[in-house]
């Protein structure tokens, strides 16, 4: 089995990353599929599909086949996984169909994923052409990718904030000791921003605009000097386009409840952690990973709330994908689903 190609896939709600040993991450695209609802034909996948969002006739719809990290549309998810696997082999320069179908695939899943949900992911990857398919829990993969000492009998804590879920876990000796998974993460941040702008300015903006505001002027705490951005939306009353100025204070206030939910998940996990391992976490601090970890000052807010140092991983966007690929090297030391 280990003579074959090993593919690590971070199959995220928002983005999919593919890792190949010796090459690193070679695919990084949105987990979006554009489909013609009249014919059922797939028009585009990944980056090309994202470019079509809100810019196509009504018969072309953008579909996210994953919801909160698990498969919501099996058929579309299978086609999307096949597309990303083939793209990985194109980058590697090996499109021999026989080799493609002999690949072993490791896919990360959120903590608390049910056996039925895991089975759906595994079957989708096999339908896409994989030989053996394994699943690994997302926070463990993130910890491996962040180069935490997960193989030692010592507690390490990781917070992975993705698009569809936030995973908090304490890991020791190659396994998850305790964890908390909430379906609140980057997507909920975007939705909260959209609702805030709608309520305060009577303007409707799209998800991509909300994400832009989150990245550009978003913060987990009030900024010393407020920042602003000009955005375009639709006036709900008149139905006409309108330009408004949004402040960083607007974004901070809109994200308050999402931030509070993440803080609660961290506290719950710490409360469930055995005292000896909790002591290790206090000594080492907590590591943040995932796209949501890049929200400004989130690390400071968390550190103030739990009274433990919080650090952002060196490559927060890539940790899960890297760890998913590297997990093959320690396959016998961790509990994998197959």
* Dihedral of alpha carbons 135, 141, 142, 143, sign: positive
Angle between helix axes 256-272 and 186-201 (nearest 10 degrees) is 150
pLDDT value, residue 96: 54
pLDDT value, residue 85: 86
pLDDT value, residue 29: 96
pLDDT value, residue 3: 45
pLDDT value, residue 5: 76
DSSP 8-class letter at 219: B
Strand partners, 157: 170, 286
Strand order across the beta sheet in which 310-312 lies? 175-182, 166-172, 156-161, 286-289, 310-312
pLDDT value, residue 101: 59
Angle between helix axes 256-272 and 298-306 (nearest 10 degrees) is 40
pLDDT value, residue 95: 52
Percentages helix, strand, coil for the chain, rounded to the nearest 5?
40, 30, 30
pTM listed for this prediction: 0.90
**DSSP reduced 3-state for 70:** strand
Strand order across the beta sheet in which 42-45 lies? 42-45, 33-36, 60-63
CA distance 218 to 256: 11
Phi, psi for residue 306 in degrees, rounded to 5 = -100, -5
pLDDT value, residue 1: 43
pLDDT value, residue 247: 97
CA distance 250 to 32: 28
Give the chain's domains with CATH numbers.
Answer: 6-140+321-333 (3.30.420.40), 148-313 (3.30.420.40)
CB 157 within 8 A of CB 170: yes
pLDDT average per 10 residues of sequence, the chain (338 residues): 72 93 90 93 94 85 87 90 86 59 84 87 87 92 96 96 95 94 95 97 95 97 96 96 97 97 98 97 97 97 97 96 90 60
DSSP 8-class letter at 40: -
CA dihedral of 147, 122, 111, 165, whole degrees rounded to 10? 90
């Amino acid at each position: 089995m280990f003579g074959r190609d090993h593919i690590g896939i971070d199959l995220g709600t928002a983005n999919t990353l593919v890792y190949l040993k010796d090459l690193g991450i070679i695919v990084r695209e949105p987990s979006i599929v554009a489909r013609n609802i009249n014919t059922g034909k797939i028009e585009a996948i990944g980056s090309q599909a994202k470019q079509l969002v809100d810019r196509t006739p009504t018969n072309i719809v953008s579909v996210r086949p994953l919801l909160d990290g698990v498969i919501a549309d099996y058929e579309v998810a299978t086609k999307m996984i096949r597309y990303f696997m083939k793209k990985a082999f194109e980058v590697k320069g090996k499109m021999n169909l026989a080799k493609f179908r002999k690949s072993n695939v490791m896919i990360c899943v959120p903590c608390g994923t049910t056996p039925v949900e895991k089975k759906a992911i595994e079957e989708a990857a096999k339908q896409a052409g994989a030989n053996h398919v394994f699943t690994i829990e997302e926070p463990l993969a993130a910890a491996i990718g962040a180069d935490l000492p997960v193989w030692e009998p010592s507690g390490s804590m990781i917070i992975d904030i993705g698009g569809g879920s936030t995973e908090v876990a304490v890991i020791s000796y190659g396994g998850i000791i305790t964890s908390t998974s909430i379906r609140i993460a980057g997507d909920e941040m975007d939705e909260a921003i959209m609702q805030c702008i709608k309520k305060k300015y009577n303007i409707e903006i799209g998800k991509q605009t909300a994400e832009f505001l989150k990245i550009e002027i978003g913060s987990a705490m009030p900024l010393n000097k407020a920042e602003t951005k000009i955005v375009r939306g639709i006036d709900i009353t008149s139905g006409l386009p309108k330009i408004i100025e949004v402040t960083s204070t607007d974004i901070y206030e809109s994200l308050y409840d999402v931030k509070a939910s993440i803080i609660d998940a961290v506290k719950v996990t710490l409360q469930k952690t055995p005292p000896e391992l909790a002591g290790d976490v206090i000594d080492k601090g907590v590591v943040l990973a995932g796209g949501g970890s890049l929200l400004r000052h989130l690390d400071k807010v968390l550190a103030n709330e739990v009274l433990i140092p919080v650090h952002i991983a060196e490559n927060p966007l890539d940790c899960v994908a890297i760890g998913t690929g590297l997990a093959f090297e320690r396959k016998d030391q961790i509990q994998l689903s197959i």
